[in-house]
Structure 1
C-alpha cells in the first residue's frame, strides 16, 4: 500500500478531530510561584492533548481552605508536599495520584542592582529597612525563608524589618513596588527564559532550609475527568520537565 502525503494529512486530520471530540477542561489550582511555568505547560498540554486548563493561582494554604469549603478544583499543584497529603488523608484527594512535579528554589532578591551580593552578606550588613517574605505559616517558601534566617543566626535581628505577604506572589510584589528593598522569592519569579536577570540576587544554598518539594494531586472533583489524569501524566513528560529547567526549578527524582 502506497502512503502519500495526502493520505498522511487525512490521517492527521482524523486524529486531530478525534482528540478534539474528546477534549475536556480541567480546573487547576496552582501555587503562586508556578504561575509562569504553568502558562507554558498549559499551552504544550493543550497542543498535545486537545484538553484545556482553567487555571487559578494563589497561596497553597488558601487553596486548601477553598477545597475544604467545596471549591470545584480538580487538580492541585501545591507549593509543598504536606497539603496534598493532608487532602488525601481527609478523603478529598486520590492518595495514589500524589507526586512531586518540581523542586522549588529560593532566592534573596532586590529590584535594585548591586544591593544583594552573591553570598547574601547583605542580611548581616543591615543596609535596608524592610525585607519581604511569604507567610511562613501558610506558604512553604516563607517557611524556607525563616529557616534560612535562623540558620544564618539573623532571624531575631531582622524580625522588626520583616514584611509578610499572603503568598510568594505578594512578597514579590512588595519588592517590585519598592515597599521592601529586598525579599525572599522563588527563583522562577526572577528568572524568565530568554530574558536577562533583573536587579540583584543570592541563590539560597539548599542546605539552609528543608527541600521545597512541590506536589500535585488529583482531587475528588476530578476523579472522573480523564483530562485531569492526563494533566498529571503530562507533568512528568519531557516537555514539562524542560520548562522546569528553563525557570530554574529542580527536576523531581524518578
Structure 2
C-alpha cells in the first residue's frame, strides 16, 4: 500500500512514543469516577476530616479549657460575694465605706507612730535612755497582745444567748476575726483570753476555747474603738445576721471602760528564736 493510502490516524500513531500511547490507553481504561476532578469544597472536606489531632494540640486544648473553667468559677464567686452588698440598704453601704476608711486611717496612724519612734531615736540626746523607754513600752504592748498582762480601755461587750444550742465554734471564730479586723486590741470570751494562737472547737452543745469548755451565753469583752467594732458586726450578711439566723440573740453594748483581766501564761517557743541572736 502506498503512503498516499495511509490515513492521518495511522501516521499519528506512528509518530507518538510508545509510553504516551500506553498512558493514554490506561487513562481511557480508568473508570469515569476516577477521571472526574474533585471540586474545591470536596478537597476542603477531605483535608479537614477525619481530624488529625497532635499531642501538642490536645495539651493546648486542655489548658484553655482549664483556664476558661477557672475564670467562670472566679466570676461566679465574685457575683455571690457582691449579691449581699447589692441588696444592702444605702445606710449599710455608707457604714461599710466608713469602716474601710477607719481601717485605712488606723494603718496610717500606726505608720506615723513608727516614724515618730524612729525620729525620736535619731534625734534624742540620750539615745540609750530613749531606746530603753521604747523597749519598756513595746514590752507592755506585746504583753497585752500575748495576754500576759491585763488591759483596760474603751470597747464593747457582746452577749450571745444560744437557747437552741445551734451556735457553733466557727461562728464564734468568725466574730473574733471580724473584731480583730475592725481594730480590737484585747478580747476575752467567758473568762478565756483570746490571743494569736487561740483555737475554738465544738464540744457537744457548747464550745471550747483553747481546750477550755465554755457554755452559753457567750460573753465577749473587747477593747477597741466602739465606733468601729459595733458596725463591723452588723454589716449585711455579717456576724450578727448569721447568729440570728440560728435563732441566737445578740446584744452589743458600748462602754468607755472595758476591763480584760483574763491572763495567759508566757510560753517560750519550742523552735522559734530571735534572728538577732
Q: Report the TM-score, using the length of structure 2 for normalisation.
A: 0.21
Larger RCO: Structure 1 or Structure 2 (Cα < 8 Å, ≥ 6 residues apart)? 1
More helix by share: 2
Q: Report the TM-score, using the length of structure 1 for normalisation.
A: 0.22
